[in-house]
Structure 1
């Protein structure tokens, strides 16, 4: 797919919400411009950054017509900025792209090839490759394949297995997920993914990577996210419980709305989902503590919550 844009290649919108990450944003966009897939529109939604983001984005838009730059006069909060970036997408497919991540050159082309060849898929992604400062890969994300014909089995498998959520960074069939929304709460991206999986199947390609920096994955990190998105105070104090309540509340509503015959069972569905998520988080916390005891200083990037944008 090197060379000029081919008319047979569908337009792909890459949506980058950003805030005060000018240097890493430059790296992200440079990698996209060097992608083997050429028919792109790169949408940058700047959440009123106070660093050099505006100048860098203006230069990028001037040098390549595929870059579209939008700047908010006031910070909208990360979730609203994610959704604003998506609202500007015009492609058949779209990706949400972290402003501090970068993709393999063949990442987008490989995802689109799968989506074009299998209409049952609403999402195709690669795997996260994690770095710690020196550029060397120090770990990989989990491969989750929510490919069951049953929507509930897809969602349950995802909820039980998800940790760092690199599947979120894949290519979506835009028309299929147009009505899905990412709520402004802890685990908003997990809720988004669960709603997407109710719409159709997803596939993870383990040979292509979204490159990410390691970060903190502790309760203190979740408290910071809760503060950033202006969640209720108890969310910051009891983040694991808040994540469980948020997921159970939204998902039980999705399930009942899509199948009204389950209305009588809505409370059972809620408590079953709440216990599933809470049990999963307790197990996850125990595994992290064991891993930290064996290898002090090792952490994983957090992934319930909105991103930097």
Structure 2
């Protein structure tokens, strides 16, 4: 088997049902039955996930295994559970309420068959509502597809993109045993998997067909962001990554903090005091490296200054702000 699609799920029966039937159609229509297997782990849901998935299983049209947990394993262990059940050369992680494009699946399978030196595939993403409406947000929507050679530069450029679980593909060999051996323990194991494979082999940043990522309400999630946006959880991956220097580890941490500006927006939206408290938690977090502690205050100040400037310009320009901003962008481009 070339590829296993891993779907850890919890209390999203309608989304899971839509996803399974969509994937079944893609697999059958493109003659991929012998190439792809789906593995689902129902994390002790209390909705109709069990009955819906069992009904789908009875169709017996594609390769699929469905497991029902008697107790909730937690987010991380449920991801590790489906990974442990896989036996294919590659695995794809997919959120139960996120949807891959048919062409993304087909072209990825063809590419992996032709080039086994690719260890990781990372998609672009398009955010949608729970009703499927397109939102004006996403990641790498205007970025060209590119293949990166193995090594630290690949890891630096791409490991932060592992924050979004859906559509990520990586070689399965050794990643779970290495993860356990190095005692990695956080709710973002896919960041470790991406970083590990970027160091081991080539990465294909395949942006032509964005994965549709559902923007779920926080109350619908079985986890929270804590006061630091779970940065400590993310940094645990870099702390446990082997064969990198302390300087490289810090570069990975600062890259994450620099590109994910939504975190600062999230902190500021709750007030300046919350912003400062979040920064303190990041600065002195157990998984924050020494060099990051030295560099992070400059990043935080840069964003705060930029945010204050934008508020000032909005106040001065009023309704003309967006028009002026667009003119400026056209000028510099």
Q: How does 1:192-231 map to 2 (within 5 A)?
A: 192-215=193-216, 224-225=223-224
Confirm whether residue 242 of structure 1 aligns to residue 232 of structure 2.
yes
Q: How many Å separate the matches in 2 of 1:21 and 1:221?
A: 9
Question: Which residue of 2 is the match for residue 17 of structure 1?
Answer: 8
Question: Which residue of 1 is the match for residue 58 of structure 2?
Answer: 62
Q: CA deviation at 1:279?
A: 4.6
Say which is worse superposed, 237-246 or 148-157, in terms of deviation: 237-246
Q: Please say if residues 155 and 194 of structure 1, whose CA atoms lie closer than 8 Å, have aligned partners that are also in contact.
A: yes
Question: Which residue of 2 is the match for residue 229 of structure 1?
Answer: none
Structure 1 residues 217-239: Cα deviation after superposition (integer angstroms, max 9, x where no partner): 9xx9999435xxxxxxxxx3334
Q: Please say if residues 144 and 158 of structure 1, whose CA atoms lie closer than 8 Å, have aligned partners that are also in contact.
A: no
Q: Which protein is bigger by CA-based radius of gyration?
A: 2
Which structure has more relative contact order (CA 8 Å, sep 6+)? It is 1
Q: How many Å separate the matches in 2 of 1:281 and 1:106?
A: 28
Q: How many Å separate the matches in 2 of 1:116 and 1:147?
A: 15
Q: How many Å separate the matches in 2 of 1:73 and 1:63?
A: 24
CA distance 1:47–1:23, shift in 2 (3 Å)? same
Q: CA deviation at 1:196?
A: 1.9
Q: Return the TM-score normalized by structure 2.
A: 0.66
Specify every segment of 5 or more residues in structure 2 that has no aligned partner in the other structure, as ranges.
266-302, 315-333
2:115 to 118, 125, 129: 118
Q: How many Å separate the matches in 2 of 1:92 and 1:203?
A: 16
Q: CA deviation at 1:38?
A: 2.8
Q: Give the aligned CA root-mean-square deviation in angstroms.
A: 3.6
CA distance 1:77–1:200, shift in 2 (3 Å)? same
Q: How many Å separate the matches in 2 of 1:221 and 1:51?
A: 13
Q: Please say if residues 186 and 236 of structure 2, whose CA atoms lie closer than 8 Å, have aligned partners that are also in contact.
A: yes
Question: Which residue of 2 is the match for residue 38 of structure 1?
Answer: 33
